[in-house]
Amino acid sequence: MKQCCIWNYIILLFLNFLSFEFLFSQNVVYPPEWKELFSDSGWVIVREEERIKVYEKPISISPVPSIRVELSTSVSLNALLNVAWTVDQYPETLPSAYTEKAGFHHRNSAQYQQGWQIIDIPFLSPRLYQFDHIRRPSRIDWISAQFNRPTDFPEQLIIPPVNFGSWEVMESEGESKLIYRVCTDPGGIVPAWIMKIASRKYIPHMLLELEEAALHEIEK
């Protein structure tokens, strides 16, 4: 049993090494504040229910608090991450995100792709999010990127100046914990009450929708 665990650890280290080598070749640059988003310190819980916890903390790069949402679930790691990886399906799988359209700018492997989504929240101007999408063994990261937009995109789209985060799944004793982290500055004028609703209502619902979509794929 001990030897099996050692081999599993070696395989995980090897996979992580391959991920870093691949990302280096793609010139993906993580923001300096990435470590702060992943640090366990500074988070304040703002909502707690049976399976969901919502945390916030300030990060200097953004005028709005960063968000971490945790969902306890029985759905497997791969099933959850497969839904998060399929950006073009977000309008159907994650309706609480108010994604009007979504798709890919570039896809060249099972570990890296460039995605985009147009988010149109009520009372706000629509926003265009473009990002590098990086898949690791237990996590999917996204980092804001800029590339040529399709000609049929609306001209009045706001491009958020800050946007990075991740979907992570931690497994333990047959259960999973889905963790969503995001640091974003949506740009433009955003009323504080809308940001509060987004962090404490829409984003937790989005995690439940991802869980439901993952279960649906398993049952197919």
Show me where the domains of the chain are located. 32-219
Provide the CATH topology of domain 32-219.
Alpha-D-Glucose-1,6-Bisphosphate; Chain A, domain 4 (3.30.530)
Torsion of CA 196, 202, 207, 210, to 10 degrees: -160
- Asked if 48 and 56 count as a contact pair (C-beta separation under 8 A), the reply is no
Confidence of residue 66 (pLDDT cuts 50, 70, 90): very high
Instruction: Kindly report, residue by residue over 159-206, the tens digit of the pLDDT.
Output: 999 999 999 999 988 889 999 999 999 998 887 778 778 788 899 999
Give mean pLDDT, residues 28-50: 95
Least reliable range by pLDDT among 4-18, 36-50, 136-150, 177-191:
4-18
Identity of the residue numbered 68: R
Radius of gyration of the chain (CA): 17
Taking the C-alpha atoms of residue 183 and residue 61, their distance in angstroms, rounded to an integer, is 8
Among 178, 159, 155, smallest CA distance to 168 is for: 178
Here the tokens at position 149 are: 């937009």
- pTM reported for the whole predicted model: 0.85
pLDDT-based confidence at residue 21 (cuts at 50, 70, 90) = very low
Q: Compute the C-alpha angle 63/64/69, nearest 5°.
A: 150
Residue 97: exposure state from Cβ atoms within 10 A (0-12, 13-18, ≥19): buried
Q: Please write the tens of the pLDDT for every residue from 94-136.
A: 999 999 999 998 887 789 999 999 999 888 899 999 999 999 9
Please count the other Cβ atoms lying within 10 Å of the Cβ belonging to residue 8: 10
